[in-house]
Every structure is written in structure tokens, then in C-alpha cells.
Structure 1
Amino acid sequence: MELRPYQSEAKTAIFEQWDQGKKKTLLVLPTGCGKTIVFAKVTEECVRQGKRVLIMAHRGELLEQASDKIMKATGLGSAVEKAEESCLGSWYRIVVGSVQSLTRPQRLAKFKQDYFDTIIIDEAHHCLSDSYQRVLEHFPDAEVLGVTATPDRGDMRNLGQYFESLAYEYTLPQAIKSGYLVPIKAMTIPLQLDLTGVGMQSGDFKASDLGTALDPYLYQIADEMIKYCKDRKTVAFLPLVKTSQKFCEILNQKGFRAAEVNGESSDRAQVLADYDAGRYNVLCNSMLLTEGWDCPTVDCIIVLRPTKVRSLYSQMVGRGTRLAPEKADLLLLDFLWHTERHELCHPASLICENEEVAKKMTENLEKSAGCPIDLEEAEEQASSDVVAEREQALAEQLKQMRARKRKLVDPLQFEMSIQAEDLSSYVPAFGWECAPASDKQKAALEKLGIMPDEIDSAGKATMLLDRLHKRQAEGLTTPKQIRFLEGRGFKNVGTWQFEAASNMINRIAACGWHIPQGVDPQTYTPKGE
């Protein structure tokens, strides 16, 4: 099986991390981008090197999928460590294992600590639990790969407590731009649902409270669905089985062909097959279908289980992002959830790395309620709005700075002048990155002309210093040149060559520190730039 370019890059990056001694590394791929294929090929290479590989997951369906995909992609068979089945004594070098089975002390004790050379964790956001950690600690020298869909920064920070590095990340926008996933059209439904009385449990909204809060709105939601997704193949996620069953009945009353599946459904496989075949056009479930189920023809997702966990939200939406013949896009319906908490996931959570941009994008989508908006276009608009707001705030800040005659450049001015979105939206994830900037880093930044007072992490200081040294090597403007020329009204001096800035400063000095005649700082661009 031929790997896509990003899958091949991911595989190479994983082995590079292990070769560098970073034994616990992460792979982040959006749902639908073939993470199982990547770790199947990683497994194949490990077996070729004579290693024994354990693939661990928390659900039987995920283990079966991994085993099937490895056989299909590599031709290699797998032993099973689950319930009554044991891999001990098997000649297979690949084992798919249930964490629930492996975590039992008597079972784990049967394995030598060096039995597995490599451990791959599917849905790695679960791996911080005690059960996973017990198994991982039993094999201390194994190289570990965690595979997960796009986590939020909180998740990444948590995962950073265990994993030593992020080997490779492929984002949802990249996958959509490259044509590997369908575009997403987000639509805010102008129906305000009150969540103020909903409690919290295990870091997310309490499912039982959500069911109670949602119940009065089910008929109105069904009426909204008639307007927007009558001709779509829809999956609806709800907080409780009884809420899912009730909503299914309401949809059938409204003329939909709806079905409901849950963990107790004896005919689940048949219902899913019938839905796949088009006998139903809406599938209701209570969080059953977030992992391990694929139906590429789904082209509408309704999240009626509000969550603050981005990985969970991504998995729900990911049920509809796969490509299928004649499928133009995915319609994602969002609601005006009224809550005092601001961590609630929205469509913006899928695509925005920067919280400020996500907040602005959600505001913009709510203003356009009832109108489907392309997610990437919405993110671009929100980014543009945020930059405009930052520029306005920066103008005020520069006014104050000029009054104080500071000699150093504010980091935000520098980042915006050199158009470095990666610097301005950077959030530290791993342990060392989160530590405060060292005195040595601050002194180095100040020497290079940057005001270090507001640099709040070692990771940010490292990125800034790296960028400054790289710019120096490339003959680009210094922070002091940027401060001087932008203080006199020139724009984006950070994109100029050092020589061009130096020439302009010399011209200004020759004119008694006035702007030379015929030069308009607002529109001026150096020749050759």
C-alpha cells in the first residue's frame, strides 16, 4: 500500500525521534487521514528490524481495525492479548492488546519487562489513565508511539507530561487544502440552548444534566433540521441513550428516516449497515460512534452533546470529513449554547490554534447564524479581524512607548512586522517549553534589541532567538532598525533587507532626522523587495 506524502513524512519523523533517543513520541493526524495506515507501516519496519510490537487500545473494535489494517497494508498477521486469548507462545511479532486485559497484575506479570521493543497506543489521549500507565511502566525500555487526532493545547500539555516530543502533526486545514478531506461548512443555528444549570464531571459537562437541559428543545431542533439537512446523510450525537431514542422518534414523526444505536443495541451491526446503504438518513447515538466507525458518505454532523474536550469534538466531527463520490462538503450544525463557561468547543475549535482567533471566529459565525460558512474562509476572516484589532492596540502601545523613549522593540511589534504568525500564536506544550525564560535568554534578547520582560516561557524565548539568528544570517532587518523606521511610519520593515533599512536610516540622518522629500512612509517599499 502506497503511503501519501504526509504519511511517509510522518513515518520518517517517528523513527528520527526514536533514533535521537526520544523514546516516547506523538503522532497527530486528523480523523480520516489514515493514522492506522501510518502505524501499520511503522509496525512493519519495526518487525523488519527484528522487534516485537504491542499495539494497545481500549476498545475491541479498535484492535480489530488495527489487526485488519496491518494485514491489508503489510501482509503481517497479529496475535491477540484480550480476554481468554493470549499472545504468549505465538510466533507472531505483532500483538494487538486490550488495555483492560493487560493491566491486570497477574496477566502483566507473565510478560518479561523486555518482551516488547515497541508499544503503539491508538487514541493516545487515553494513555494518561492509570490502566495504560501500569502497562507502560511494566515495559520501561520500549519505544512508545502515541497516535491521536488533533488534541487541544490543554490535552497536548497533559500528553507532554508523558511524551517527550511531537514527531509529526498534520492539521485539518492542511488535509482539506490537499484534498484528502472534504471542506467543512459551519452553520450556527439561531436557537439558544440554556446550559447554565449543567454541572461538571471528569472535566466535562455532566451527561445526565445535559440530557435534562436538552430535552425541552428537541422538537425545535428537529424543525431546524428540516430546513437545513433534509437532503443530507446525518449523524447526531446526544448526551444520553434515552435522549437519543426520544430524538430519533421525533425525527421520524417529522418525516426523517431515522435510526438509533447504543451500546445495548442487539441489531447494531444491521442498523449501521442499513444506514450505510441509505435506508436511513439520520443516525442518532449517545457518543457510541466517536471512535472506530467509518461511513464516508456522512455529510452532516449535529453535535447535541456540547463538550469542552477538543479531541472528543474533533472525533464527532471527524465522522463526516472523509471523502466520498459526489460528496461536496460536510455541513456542521452548531447551536447558540448559552453557558457561563467559555471553554465550550465550537467549529472554530477544529481549525484555530490561537484562542483569540477562535473566539473571534465563533463571534463572526454567530453573527451569520443560519448561513453556512466555509470553515477555512471563516478562520481567515477571523485572523484578519484579530490582526486589525492587534494593530489598533499596538498603535496605542507604540504611542506610549515613544513617549517613554524606549530603546528596545516590543516582541509583538517585532512578530507583526516580520509577519510571524507562528511566533504570535505560539503556546508552549512540553515541560521545558513551559518553564520561565532564563536570565541568559533574556540578556541575549535584550542584546539583540528585543524587550524581554513579556516573554513568559523558555520555549517562546528559544523561538525568538532562533528567528533573530536566522534573520541575521539572511541579512534581514534588526529589531532596532524595525523600531526606528516603524516609529517614523514605515510599514512591515521586518520584511526588508538590512542594507535597505540602513540606507533609509542614513538618508533620514542626512536630512536632519526628517523623512526625505518624495518618500511616503505609509506606501514606501525598498527597490527589489
Structure 2
Amino acid sequence: MELRPYQEEARKAVEAEWSEKGQKRTLLVLPTGTGKTIVFAKIIEDQVKKGERVLVLAHRNELLEQASDKLLKATKIPTALERAEHTSLGSFAPVTVGSVQTLQREKRLAKFHPGYFNTIVIDEAHHAISDGYQRVLDHFNQAKVLGVTATPDRGDTQNLGKVFDSLAYEYQLTDAIKDGYLSSIKAMTIPLNIDINGVKQSAGDFAVGQLGDALDPYLEQIADEMVKQCQNRKTVVFLPLIKTSRKFTRLLNERGLTAAEVNGQSDNREQILAEFEDGKYQVLCNSMLLTEGWDCPSVDCVVVLRPTKVRALYAQMVGRGTRLAPGKKELLLLDFLWNTERHDLCHPASLIAKDQEVIDKMTEKITEASEAVDIQEAEQEAKQDIVKQREEALAEQLKALRRRKRKLVDPLQFEMSINALDLQDYQPSFGWEMTPPSEKQMKALDKFGIDSQEIGNAGLASKMLGRLIKRKEMGLATPKQIRLLEQRGFQKVGLWKFEEASNMISRIAANHWQIPHGIIPRTYQPA
């Protein structure tokens, strides 16, 4: 099976962390629908070819079955099962798929020598911070570890930084959409104010029992709104409780939408899922059953009626509709005016933006719009607004930086010039990121024209170097070109090509370092 370009890059990046950089525990971040199981199957294949024994660890049977099936189809490698009464001990299979609930038990772990597995792959790695996973990892403490997850939020990454040593590779949802591997997403805010202020927290998220009670008074109005928006769409609805899901299904059917409901107790679950996929039902309601391990590419509308502050969970729910399918134009994501004092509630903006300021601005734009809004366009507009606000707030400081006669460019000036909010808001998560920049990093930054003395840690140095290398590959203006032209009043030089900046600098130099006649820097745009 031939990997897509980003999948091959991910494979190489993970193996480089282990073999070249000496990072034993590394993370791979791939959005739902971009083939994370295929990627780690190929990584496992590489380890098996070296004679290694591999453990795939997950918390749900569906994930274990999916991993086993994909490994066999993609690599022809058979697997053994470590779950309940099944054991992999004595099996000739080089790969074990294991349930963390089973393996975490002291008696079960004691049966395995600590060096039994050379490599461990954790599917849905945002769960790896739990005690059960930690007991397994502590037992097999010499093994290389790969954690695979969909886009985690900053809080998740900070926590995962206590378990993993590095982030080997991250493929952004926006890149997957732009590259044509996932469906574009349009978000629409339904003007229905749902009060969840009284809902308490449990295990770091909203308590599902109280969510069901808080949601109940609004179900009829929500059903009415869905009739308006979902008539010609294949829709999946996520709800907090089975009883809420069943009630909502009945309300939709009463209004003429053909709806079905599935839950963990459904005897005919497989039949209902198959019938929904075949088009018998327009809407499929569930109480958080379909967040992982279920795919129906033709889904083109997702309704999240289970508000959450866990970004990984939100991404899993929306991910049920991001896959491509014949005739599918985009995914419509319906959001509501959730009335809550919590500022970390996930919204459509949370799928692609990590900075809370950008998320808030995007949410504001989507809420104010009278129709569905492309979330990538909303992000660009939000970033431009924030950059403008920051430029105004830092105007005097930036002026001073541009006037300073220094050989190297201040990082803040460069970040503002290229609208790099991710660099401005960067916070280190892993231990190595918090250390001072290495001598090699500092020399490389200086070579690119960035003042390495102003870079506070190795993580930011690495991120900055990655951006500089990418800009060079894309043929964009260098930091020194940007500073020189901005000093003379040119705008948005960070978006110019290297040749465009070079040509203008040559014209200015040939004119005794004066602006050529007819050129107005503030309004000038390269041809």
C-alpha cells in the first residue's frame, strides 16, 4: 500500500525521533480521517522487519479490531490478542493488540518480562495520561513508544508532555482540507440560547447526566431547527444520554425527518448503521457511541448536542463527517449559543485554531453570520483582525525595532511581519522544548538572519527554524529583506516572494538607497 506524501513524512519523522534524536516516547498527531491507523501499521511493519515485538494498546475493542484488520490488510502481519481470557503469550505473531483494561492488572503484567515488547503504539494517545496506561508503560519501560491522536488542544499537549518526549509530526486539519484529503467544513450557529450554566464538571468535562437534564427543555426547538437545515443532508447527532438520544429521535420522526437511534445496548446496532449508510434514514442519533471506530464518509452534517471542553473529543465527533464521498460538497457543522460561564467550551473554531483569542474571534464571526461560514475563511479573517490589533498595540515597539541598526532581525518583528500567531503564542510542552536553544540552533537562526539571543527556549527555536526552512522552500522573502523594506514603509512584505523583495531592494540601492520615483511604499503591491 503506497502512503500519501504526508503519511510517508509522518512515518519517517517518527522513526527519526527514535533512531536519530534519541526520543524514546514520541507523538504523532493526525486529524480524524487522514489514515492514522495506516501510518502506524507501516511503522509497525518497519519494526517487525527488524525482529522487534510490538504491542498496540487501546481502550476500546473497536480500536483493537480496527488495528488488527488494518495491519493484516496493509502489511500481511498477523496479530495476537491480549484481552480478557485471550493471551498473546506463546503466540508466534510479532504484534499483540492489547486492551489497557486487561494489561494494567498487576497479575497480567507480571506474566510478561519487562523487555518482552520492543515497541508500544498507543491509539487515541490523549488517554495515555491515565493511571492504567502509566502502569503498562512503567512495566515495559525500555520500549520505544508511539502515541497517535487527533489534534489535541494546548491543555492536552501540556499533559501529554509529561508522558511523551517529543512531537514527531503533526498534520493540520486545514492542510488536509487544502490538500484535498478531507471535506471542507462550514459552520452555522443556530440562534438558540441553551443554558448550561448549572451543569457541574466531572473528570475534567461537563457531567453528562446534568447535561441531559439541561438540554431536555430545548429539544423540541432544536428539532424544529434541524427540520430547516437537515432536510437534504445525511446527519449524525451526538447527545449526552441514551434517554435524551431516544427522545430526540422520536421528536425528529414526528417532524417528518426519518431518524434512527443507536447505543451500546442496541441489539440491532450493525443493522441500523448499515441502513443509515444505505440511505434508509436521514438522521442518526447516538449517545457518544460513534466517536471512535465508525466511518460513514457520506455524512455531510454533524450536530453536537453534547457540549464539551475536551478538544480531542470534539474533533472525534466532527470527524465522523470530514471524510470525502462522491457528490459531497462540504460538511455542515451546526453549533448553538451555549450559555455557559466556561470560556473553554469547544466550538467549530476549536477544530483548527489553538489560540483562544483566535477561537473567540472566529466564534464571534460565525455567530454573527446569517449563513454557514467556511471555518478556514473565518480563521484567516480572525487572524488578520488580531494581527491588526496587536500591531496597533505594539506599534511603538515595532517602530523602534525597525529603526534599530542591528545585523540580525528581532524575532518579534519577524513574527508580526509574517502574521505568525502560532510563533507569538508558542508555549513549550515537552521537557526538551523548555531547555535553552542549542548552539546548532542558534547558529542556524543567525544564518537565517534571526537574532538567536532573543529566542528563549529550544522548542521555539525549533518551530522558528521549521518556519524559516519552509519559507525558503516556498521562495518567500527573508527576515532581512522584510526588515529593510518595512523600514522604508512597505507593507505586508512577509507575503512577498524572495525575487520580488530582491528586485525592489536592487531598485532602491540603484537609486542611492532612496525610494524610486513613482513608488508609494504604503500602497505598493508586487506585480
- SS of the residue 1:56 aligns to: strand
Give per-residue Cα distances to partners, 1:419-461, cap 9 Å, x unaligned: 545533534332232468899999x999x886978x6655335
Give per-residue Cα distances to partners, 1:103-140, cap 9 Å, x unaligned: 11111101111111111111111111111111111111
1:286 correspondence with 2:287: yes
Q: How much has 1:234 moved relative to structure 2? A: 1.0
**Which residue does the alignment assign to 2:201?**
200
Unaligned runs of 5+ in 2: none
Q: How much has 1:13 moved relative to structure 2? A: 1.7
**Which residue does the alignment assign to 1:247?**
248
The residue correspondences of 1:147-162 to structure 2 (distance < 5 A) are 147-162=148-163
1:66 correspondence with 2:67: yes
**Which residue does the alignment assign to 1:228?**
229
The residue correspondences of 1:282-361 to structure 2 (distance < 5 A) are 282-361=283-362
Conserved? CA contact 1:478–1:498, under 8 Å: no
For 1:16, the aligned partner's letter is A
Query: Equivalents in 1 of 2:439, 2:121: separation in Å?
Result: 39
Larger radius of gyration: 1
Conserved? CA contact 1:477–1:498, under 8 Å: no
Query: Equivalents in 1 of 2:471, 2:263: separation in Å?
Result: 57
Conserved? CA contact 2:383–2:421, under 8 Å: no
Conserved? CA contact 1:321–1:330, under 8 Å: yes
Conserved? CA contact 1:79–1:95, under 8 Å: yes
Query: Equivalents in 2 of 1:334, 1:476: separation in Å?
Result: 40
The residue correspondences of 1:415-454 to structure 2 (distance < 5 A) are 415-418=415-418, 420=420, 422-434=422-434
Conserved? CA contact 1:436–1:456, under 8 Å: yes
- SS of the residue 1:288 aligns to: coil
- SS of the residue 1:116 aligns to: coil
- SS of the residue 1:79 aligns to: strand
Give per-residue Cα distances to partners, 1:390-411, cap 9 Å, x unaligned: 3333335557x59x98777764
Query: Equivalents in 2 of 1:100, 1:441: separation in Å?
Result: 43
Give per-residue Cα distances to partners, 1:471-498, cap 9 Å, x unaligned: 99x997766x966864553435666768
Question: Structure 1 residues 462 and 272, CA, compared in 2 at 3 Å: closer, same or farther?
Answer: closer
Question: Structure 1 residues 449 and 277, CA, compared in 2 at 3 Å: closer, same or farther?
Answer: closer
Give TM-score, length-normalised by structure 1. 0.87
- SS of the residue 2:37 aligns to: helix
Query: Equivalents in 1 of 2:213, 2:452: separation in Å?
Result: 52
For 2:120, the aligned partner's letter is I
Query: Equivalents in 2 of 1:122, 1:469: separation in Å?
Result: 31
1:143 correspondence with 2:144: yes
Q: How much has 1:25 moved relative to structure 2? A: 1.2
**Which residue does the alignment assign to 1:185?**
186
Query: Equivalents in 2 of 1:396, 1:56: separation in Å?
Result: 53
Query: Equivalents in 2 of 1:468, 1:60: separation in Å?
Result: 43
Give per-residue Cα distances to partners, 1:372-393, cap 9 Å, x unaligned: 1122222222222223323333
- SS of the residue 2:325 aligns to: coil
Query: Equivalents in 2 of 1:336, 1:308: separation in Å?
Result: 15
Query: Equivalents in 2 of 1:465, 1:33: separation in Å?
Result: 26
Conserved? CA contact 2:118–2:142, under 8 Å: yes
Query: Equivalents in 1 of 2:385, 2:68: separation in Å?
Result: 47
Query: Equivalents in 1 of 2:11, 2:333: separation in Å?
Result: 31
- SS of the residue 1:68 aligns to: helix
Q: How much has 1:364 moved relative to structure 2? A: 0.4
**Which residue does the alignment assign to 2:213?**
212
Q: How much has 1:313 moved relative to structure 2? A: 0.2
Question: Structure 1 residues 220 and 489, CA, compared in 2 at 3 Å: closer, same or farther?
Answer: same
Q: How much has 1:225 moved relative to structure 2? A: 0.2
Query: Equivalents in 2 of 1:63, 1:478: separation in Å?
Result: 48
**Which residue does the alignment assign to 1:386?**
386
Q: How much has 1:341 moved relative to structure 2? A: 1.3
Q: How much has 1:523 moved relative to structure 2? A: 4.0
Question: Structure 1 residues 65 and 398, CA, compared in 2 at 3 Å: closer, same or farther?
Answer: closer
Q: How much has 1:355 moved relative to structure 2? A: 2.9
Q: How much has 1:43 moved relative to structure 2? A: 1.7
Conserved? CA contact 1:215–1:243, under 8 Å: yes
Give per-residue Cα distances to partners, 1:222-267, cap 9 Å, x unaligned: 0000000022111111111221111111111111221222222222
Conserved? CA contact 1:236–1:284, under 8 Å: yes
- SS of the residue 2:116 aligns to: coil
- SS of the residue 1:289 aligns to: coil
Conserved? CA contact 2:428–2:459, under 8 Å: yes
- SS of the residue 2:152 aligns to: coil
Query: Equivalents in 2 of 1:241, 1:48: separation in Å?
Result: 46
Q: How much has 1:319 moved relative to structure 2? A: 0.7
Query: Equivalents in 1 of 2:467, 2:128: separation in Å?
Result: 34
Name whichever of 10-19 and 262-271 sits farther off: 262-271
Name whichever of 89-98 and 455-464 sits farther off: 455-464
Conserved? CA contact 2:174–2:352, under 8 Å: yes
**Which residue does the alignment assign to 2:83?**
82
1:124 correspondence with 2:110: no
Conserved? CA contact 2:158–2:430, under 8 Å: yes
Query: Equivalents in 2 of 1:267, 1:417: separation in Å?
Result: 58
Name whichever of 233-242 and 427-436 sits farther off: 427-436
Give per-residue Cα distances to partners, 1:316-367, cap 9 Å, x unaligned: 0001111222222111101111111111111111112333222211110000
**Which residue does the alignment assign to 1:4?**
4
Query: Equivalents in 1 of 2:466, 2:102: separation in Å?
Result: 47
Conserved? CA contact 1:477–1:493, under 8 Å: no
Name whichever of 409-418 and 69-78 sits farther off: 409-418
Unaligned runs of 5+ in 1: none
**Which residue does the alignment assign to 1:460?**
460
Q: How much has 1:57 moved relative to structure 2? A: 0.7
- SS of the residue 1:97 aligns to: strand
RMSD over aligned Cα, in angstroms?
3.5
Give TM-score, length-normalised by structure 2. 0.87
Conserved? CA contact 2:165–2:432, under 8 Å: no
